[in-house]
Structures are given as C-alpha cells and as structure tokens.
Amino acid sequence: MRLNRFLAAAGLGSRRSCDALIASGAVVINGHKIDQLATQVEDGDDVRVKGRPVRAALPVHILLNKPKGFVVTRSDERGRRTVYDLLPPEFSTLCHVGRLDKESEGLLLLTNDGALAQKLTHPSHEIEKEYEVTLDKDFKPEDIPTLLKGIYIEGGCGRFERVHIVTTKRLQVILRQGIKRQIRLMFYSMGYEVERLVRTRIGKLRDDRMPLGACRRLTKLEIGSLTGTSKKSAKPASSKPSSKRPRRVVKKTTRPHQA
C-alpha cells in the first residue's frame, strides 16, 4: 500500500496532507526516515509518525443528524457545544466531512477515511447535496433563473443546480459547490432571510427517519454509493518492529487533488 494511503487510513488526514507529513521527514519505517512520496508499506513494516506507532485503522463512516445550535469543530474556543458532544467516545477521533453552520441542521458525515473525505469535499468531484430551505417570506418563482445562473457572494459565484418550490416559503435546493454559508448568502442577496436550513442528502445518502442528534454507521451499500466501488475491509497493519527496509517505488504517480 502506498504510504500516503496508509497514513490516511490511519486517520492522519487526506492523502495530500499525508504527503506533506512525509515530505517533512516526520515518518519513519523500520527505523529509517522516509521522505519519498512513492514509498510502499508492506505487511510487518513498523511505521511511526513523530515517534508514535501508526496502524492503518479499518474505515469507519458515521452519519450524524446534526441539530441546530452545535458547531462543526472538534473543540470551540468560545465554549459552544460541538457535534463531537453528540458522538459516543469511540467516534471522537473521526474527521467531519464538510461543514454545517451552527444554525443549520441535517446530515453530516464523519470518517477516518481520508480518501473518501477528499472525494466528497473536493470541487472537482461535484458531489450533490440537497437542502430544505425555509424563508422568511413568500418566494418569487421568477427568482429561480438567477439562482441557477449564479450570484456573486463572498467566496465566489454561488449557483444552485436545481430549485424546487415545496410551499410558498419552503424550497428544496440542490448544489454541488461548497462555498461557506452559500445558501444563506445567496438568498440574502435576493432579499430573503433563511429561517431554517436542513441538509437532507449527500450524494445518494439520505435518512429521513433518523432523529435529531442521533448517529449511526453507514451500511456497505451506502458506503459503496459514496465511493463508487464496493469497499473491502483492510487488514490492520502489524505494529511489530521489523528490521527490513521499506520497498521504494521510483515510478512517478499522479498526486491526488487536495480536499
């Protein structure tokens, strides 16, 4: 297994951030400092990062139905409640995939799978996300073309893929972008205030029956719908020291996009 993939599977970040970790000289395999990105890890290799042994953990994927009033961060300097307060202790090291602002609700994915997190958040993959939006006043259908064409907001040109009118004040919007507070800012620029915002779908993943504040593991079918492949469980690498040197691969490979 390529070293950056091994480190990402151990929950140390995306493959790109693991590349930076390798390049910094923080990774040691079988007692030898490694700085070549194409290094391969074999069964029995002793891998350490900054002196600590690392094992490639089995992928864990959690779906959380975030309630209003929780911030999406591991710890908050202002003492606000975080989504990690809602998780069992065994999930406290997972990384959140994307964000929902404090006042927003709905589906949030957490995982230790750096490759999957990268795929779901990088703009080049254009993963659809669906939201239910409640406005402060009646929506004008003639505003739909502007929302689809795009509006310049802080962070870039925001646009929706589709807009469906559910009631006079409630809409379903679908987007592929990930601009900060995109939905709220787009509607605000057109004279609306968003009173409630709920994410109801990530890719093909949805769960209309999950209570607010609840979380669960994804099924194999759900994981496959996000990855586009049927994932097989990886056997954890042994942390037993070995005297052999890691095999190095000289062939250049394409570096993954940054998440």
Distance of CA 187 to the CA centre of its chain: 25
pTM of structure:
0.70
Which residue in 35, 85, 101, 136 is the catalytic one? 101
Consecutive sets of 10 residues in the chain, 259 residues long: mean pLDDT of each? 81 84 93 90 87 82 97 91 94 90 97 84 86 98 98 96 98 95 98 98 95 96 82 38 42 40
Q: Examine the residue annotation and report whether 101 is marked as an active-site residue of this protein.
A: yes
CB 24 within 8 A of CB 4: no
Tell me the pairing of strands 194-202 and 105-111.
parallel
What pLDDT shows up at residue 69? 96
Half-sphere exposure of 122 (CA within 13 A, CB side): 15
Domains of the chain with bracketed CATH: 1-57+233-259 (3.10.290.10), 59-126+206-228 (3.30.70.580), 128-202 (3.30.70.1560)
What's the rounded Cα separation, in Å, for the pair 229 and 223?
8
Write down the pLDDT at residue 229: 62
Compute, in degrees rounded to 10, the torsion defined by CA atoms 207, 210, 211, 215.
-110
CB 121 within 8 A of CB 178: yes
Look at residue 120 in the predicted model and tell me its pLDDT: 87
pLDDT at 55: 80
| Phi, psi torsion values for 107, nearest 5 degrees | -75, 130
pLDDT given at position 231: 41
CB 3 within 8 A of CB 13: no
